[in-house]
Amino acid sequence: MTLLALLLIILGFIHLSASTRASFKVFFGRGRPQTGLRNWLHIVGYMYLIAALLPCMSGWNFQMAIVVWLGLLHVGAVGVTLMLTYSPGLVRRLWLWGCLGRLGKPFLPKASN
């Protein structure tokens, strides 16, 4: 359960990191995030983070679940940051296999850059 929650959190943070200018290149090769894409990635990313609450809830009572969830958020955020620095290939693979946010991209209106 804990691992599932941690995985969901990591995938969520990968969405959020994909929307920042600094690490946009890791995922899309070139360019910078446009508003539509950025909002979409934010929404999906936050959904992942919220979804990670569910496995926490099943393992602990409500109050404890929140504490565990917050603790895992810290671990996940640091994990994603270090992965982006030292192993961007792994992040890209996780992005290709586990991130639903990727699927929404073709449907977004393309803003001229």
Partner 1 sequence: MKGGFRKSMTWLHTWSSLVVIWVLFAIFLTGTLSFFRAEITHWMTPEHHISARTESPVLMATNYLQSVAPFGESWQISLPDSRSPVLGVNWLAEGEERQRRRGARAVIDPVSGTAIEDARETAGGNFLYRFHFELYGVPRSVGRWIVGIASMLMFIAIISGVIMHRKIFADFFSFRPGKKTASWVDAHVLGSVLALPFHIMITFTGLFLLAGTLLFWQGGNERGGQQGQNANRGHASEEQREERAQAEKPSSQREIVSLNMNAIYLEAESLLGQPISDITISKPMTHEAEVTFRGSEKSSLSHFRGGTPEVTYNVKGELIKENFPAGAEGPIATTYGVLRSLHEGHFADVLTRWLLFFSGVLGTVMVGSGALLWSQKRERQQAGKPGYEVVSALNLAGIAGLFVALGAYFWANRLVPAGIDGRADWEIIIFFCSWLACILHSVFLRQRHGWLLQLAAAGLMFLLLPVLDALTSPVGLVAATTAGDWVRLSFDFVSLLTAAGLWAAAYFVLSKGRKSRARRNSVSNKKGKV
Residues that bind partner 1 (CB under 8 A): 2, 13, 16-17, 20-23, 61, 63-64, 67-68, 70-75, 77-78, 80-82, 84-85
Comparing CB distances to partner 1, the nearer of 51 and 77 is: 77
Question: How far is residue 45's CA from residue 58's CA, in Å, rounded to a whole number?
Answer: 21
Comparing CB distances to partner 1, the nearer of 71 and 100 is: 71
As measured in angstroms, the least distance from the Cβ of 21 to partner 1 is 6
As measured in angstroms, the least distance from the Cβ of 109 to partner 1 is 23
What's the maximum distance between 2 C-alpha atoms anywhere in the chain?
49
As measured in angstroms, the least distance from the Cβ of 63 to partner 1 is 4
Comparing CB distances to partner 1, the nearer of 16 and 53 is: 16
Comparing CB distances to partner 1, the nearer of 13 and 106 is: 13
As measured in angstroms, the least distance from the Cβ of 111 to partner 1 is 19
Question: How far is residue 106's CA from residue 89's CA, in Å, rounded to a whole number?
Answer: 23
| Number of residues that this document lists for the chain | 113
| Residue 75 neighbours by CB distance under 10 Å | 12
CA 60, chain centre distance (Å):
24
Is the four-CA dihedral 109, 97, 31, 42 of positive or negative sign?
A: positive
